[in-house]
Every structure is written in C-alpha cells, then in structure tokens.
Chain A
Amino acid sequence: DSGVTQTPKHLITATGQRVTLRCSPRSGDLSVYWYQQSLDQGLQFLIQYYNGEERAKGNILERFSAQQFPDLHSELNLSSLELGDSALYFCASSVGEGKGTEAFFGQGTRLTVV
C-alpha cells in the first residue's frame, strides 16, 4: 500500500458527461501529480500541484482541470468526455520537489467512456 488513495477505482460514463476523480496523498506529502495511462499514449503527465499551487502542466486538455485543496487532497475534473478519454488515471504524491524525490502512486481510477 503506497498510502495514496484514489477514488473511485472504476468509473463508467457516457460521452459528453463530466466526472471528478479524487486523490488523497500520503500523509505529509505536499506535491500531487496526475498522469493518464492509455494503450496508445503510454503514461502522460497531466499536471502537478505543490501545496495548493499549480507547479507544472503537461499534456492536459482544456476540457480537463484540477486543483489541490487546503487539506492537500486533489481532484481532477474531466468534462465533455469523449471515447478517447477512456484510460487509467493515476495520482502520485511526493514529500516535496527535487530531482531525486520519490513519487508514490495510487492504484488509479479506470475511466471508461461509452
């Protein structure tokens, strides 16, 4: 158990809908990262927050947004969903920032858009 909790584990929704994925980082970790894992794109970095502030942005669509709350949990909001958004979404957390900092991953949320 990595200590990172993601809910829900599975989500099935229709095209055009909006969903929210939730992540609780390990106790004491200030950084949260979101990744998308799909068969054709591999593991893609979406966005990072550190202590409530957005730190880095990757290949995140405009239809997607995220935030980190004062209690450090994070939510990833996906709207106007398309079939191609079906993927495994991972959250990871780390104590701080730094090149050698280890990131701990949750078990992921599997999103299926039908």
Chain B
Amino acid sequence: GDSVTQMEGPVTLSEEAFLTINCTYTATGYPSLFWYVQYPGEGLQLLLKATKADDKGSNKGFEATYRKETTSFHLEKGSVQVSDSAVYFCALTDSSYKLIFGSGTRLLVRP
C-alpha cells in the first residue's frame, strides 16, 4: 500500500539555521502531498501542500517541491526560528482520499 517515509528526529538547530526534513513516498497513481505541523498540546495544522508533479507548496517561509522522479517532498526553510519548534508530518492522500502520514520529525530550535 501507499506509504510515507520521513527522516527520524529529533532535528536540533540553532536559530537562523537552514532546515531540511526529508520525505519520500510510495504510491500508486498520483497522490497529493502535504506537510502538517503539530505544536505542543495541539492538533495538526496544514503547513503546505502540492497536488501535482513539480508543484511547489509554500507557507510561512517553508517550501516543498513535489518531485515525481525521486518520489520526494522535502521540507525546507532558509532561517528557522525558536517558534518553529514542533513536530512535522509529511503525508499523502491515497486513492480513497484518506491521509497517510509519515512517522513525524521533531524539530527543536535553540536561541
């Protein structure tokens, strides 16, 4: 079945450092791809999405590009802030439209 693999955390960075969280997927057909973020004690919030190959999703300084040839959707941010500390989930929607999530990557940004 469809699946998502993302890099294990935690990822610890200093403020203003560059962030990359790797995400690859396995899917039949052409899924849509998402990044969700979960702040402590809260539910998941959509960060960005891309619905077809070569689409770039972006929001709040975060970006990810749908790469069909490498089946990847890596999350990047040029300069992280302490407030970006959270757990980030890569996900896809399969043919039945449900979200399938990766295992999550915890990001800790230090001042």
Contact between B46 and A102 (Cβ–Cβ < 8 Å)? yes
CB of A56 within 8 A of CB of B32, answer no
Indicate with 1 or 0, residue by residue over B77-98, a CB within 8 angstroms of chain A CB atoms: 0000000000001000100111
Q: Which of chain A's residues has its CB closest to B91's CB?
A: A43
How many interface residues does B have (CB within 8 Å)? Answer: 24
- Which chain A residues lie closer than 8 Å to B25 at the CB level? none
A99 at the interface (CB under 8 A from B): yes
Please provide the chain B residues from 41 to 96 with a CB less than 8 Å away from any CB of chain A in the complex. Answer: 41-46, 49, 51, 89, 93, 96
Query: Interface on B for A, CB 8 Å cutoff?
Result: 30-32, 34, 36, 41-46, 49, 51, 89, 93, 96-104
Interface contact B97-A99, CB-CB below 8 Å: yes
Known: A99-B51, A100-B51. A105 touches B43 (CB 8 A): yes
